[in-house]
């Protein structure tokens, strides 16, 4: 028996252990260790009897503690492992559509909705944002249209406003990926209120850049503005009310070593110039 077969036997053994409450915690941890090593772990998990139900049970078991300052490390680790395994499934080409179709993602929304700033909850919120960002990483249209239909964009905007730096980075990447999809750009630009909500949040990030000096945030905010400017109606608005940080070019210091972002900013400013 070769080593590959032995490793897969261990995966199936872990799945059997997952079905037993007595060995579930250890099985979750072992499967979590394997999620980045075995490309077909996601379809194995998806097609194994009872696994998805167990993962959802682990997710909902922490709901009563979302507003509590005291979450045990044991419970936090189990829920974190469950989210990580769902991320493995949500980002895999063979299981992503199935994951979306079953609306399992809704079970993770409470981690985004809570205002609890406890570090334990922040860990779960960050894990959820990472799951969503990996799901839309390759501009997957089905994933982006699911997010649009679930009206979750205001939650991402709020996280950009009040979240930790890591949460903000994930959320702004997700907003950018939504804008990259034509249906996402249309959705945000078809309502002036929707556009204003996004633009106000982006401007708030811009205003904070002289303090944070965050290149990732600067890069994605510029790309968001560039994508918004591809809509003619929005381009006309932006040409009149472009944030001051663009006009005085103080953002250039932050992006000075990122040639792609500098080109994107240059193209944005040209598209918004009066001669265009």
pLDDT one-digit tens code per residue, 158-211: 999 999 999 999 999 999 999 999 999 999 999 999 999 999 999 999 989 888
Q: Is residue 238 in some structural domain? A: no
Q: Is residue 274 in some structural domain? A: no
pLDDT one-digit tens code per residue, 52-98: 999 999 999 999 999 888 889 999 999 999 999 999 999 999 999 99
Average pLDDT score over residue span 16-27: 97
Position 275 confidence tier, pLDDT thresholds 50, 70, 90: low
Average pLDDT score over residue span 137-165: 94
In this structure, how many other beta carbons lie within 10 angstroms of the beta carbon of residue 8?
14
pLDDT one-digit tens code per residue, 162-175: 999 999 999 999 99
Q: Is residue 31 in some structural domain? A: yes
**Which residue carries 């007595």 as its tokens?**
22
CA–CA distance, 134 with 105 (Å, rounded to integer): 13
Q: Is residue 263 in some structural domain? A: no
Q: Is residue 59 in some structural domain? A: yes
Q: Is residue 99 in some structural domain? A: yes
* Count: domains in the chain: 1
Q: Is residue 28 in some structural domain? A: yes
Residue 90: predicted pLDDT: 97
Residue 36: its H or E element? none
Mean pLDDT for the chain overall? 93
Residue 7: predicted pLDDT: 84
Whether the Cβ atoms of residue 31 and residue 45 lie closer than 8 Å to each other: yes
Q: How is the chain split among helix, strand and coil, in percent rounded to 5?
A: 75, 0, 25
Q: For residues 32-61, b (16+ Cβ closer than 10 Å) or e, as one string?
A: bebbeeeeebbebbbebeebbebbbebbee
pLDDT one-digit tens code per residue, 117-141: 888 999 999 999 999 999 998 889 9
Q: Is residue 107 in some structural domain? A: yes
The region of weakest confidence among 52-56, 203-207, 245-249, 269-273 is: 245-249
Q: φ and ψ at 275, to 5 degrees?
A: -80, -10
Position 1 confidence tier, pLDDT thresholds 50, 70, 90: very low
Supply the range of the domain harboring residue 154.
Answer: 6-207
Checking if the pLDDT of 245 tops 90, the result is: no
CB neighbour list of residue 61: distance below 8 Å, 6 or more residues apart? 75, 78, 79
* Residue of 171, 160, 269 whose CA lies nearest to 222: 269
DSSP state of 163: S
Q: What is the CATH number of the domain that holds 160?
A: 1.25.10.10
CA–CA distance, 225 with 242 (Å, rounded to integer): 10
In this structure, how many other beta carbons lie within 10 angstroms of the beta carbon of residue 106?
10
CB neighbour list of residue 73: distance below 8 Å, 6 or more residues apart? none
Checking if the pLDDT of 274 tops 90, the result is: no
Residue 276: predicted pLDDT: 59
Whether the Cβ atoms of residue 87 and residue 37 lie closer than 8 Å to each other: no
Residue 159: predicted pLDDT: 97
């Amino acid at each position: 028996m070769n080593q590959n077969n032995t490793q897969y036997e261990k995966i199936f053994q872990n799945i059997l252990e997952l079905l037993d409450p007595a060995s579930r915690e250890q099985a979750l941890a072992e499967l979590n260790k394997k999620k980045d090593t075995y490309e077909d772990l996601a379809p194995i998990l998806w097609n194994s009897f009872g696994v998805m139900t167990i993962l959802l049970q682990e997710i909902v078991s922490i709901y009563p503690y979302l507003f509590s300052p005291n979450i045990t490390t044991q419970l936090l680790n189990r829920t974190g492992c469950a989210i990580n395994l769902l991320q493995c499934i949500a980002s895999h080409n063979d299981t992503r559509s199935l994951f979306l179709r079953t609306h399992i993602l809704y079970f993770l929304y409470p981690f985004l909705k809570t205002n609890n700033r406890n570090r334990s909850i922040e860990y779960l919120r960050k894990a959820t944002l990472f799951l969503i960002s990996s799901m839309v990483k390759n501009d997957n249209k089905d994933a982006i249209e699911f997010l649009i239909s679930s009206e979750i964009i205001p939650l991402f905007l709020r996280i950009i406003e009040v979240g930790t730096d890591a949460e903000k980075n994930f959320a702004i990447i997700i907003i950018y990926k939504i804008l990259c999809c034509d249906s996402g750009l249309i959705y945000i630009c078809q309502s002036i209120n929707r556009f204003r909500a996004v633009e106000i949040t982006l401007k708030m990030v811009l205003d904070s850049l002289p303090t944070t000096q965050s290149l990732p945030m600067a890069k994605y905010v510029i790309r968001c503005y560039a994508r918004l400017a591809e809509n003619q109606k929005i381009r006309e608005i932006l040409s009149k009310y472009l944030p001051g940080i663009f006009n005085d070019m103080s953002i250039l210091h932050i992006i000075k070593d990122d040639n792609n972002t500098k080109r994107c900013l240059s193209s944005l400013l040209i598209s918004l110039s009066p001669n265009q």
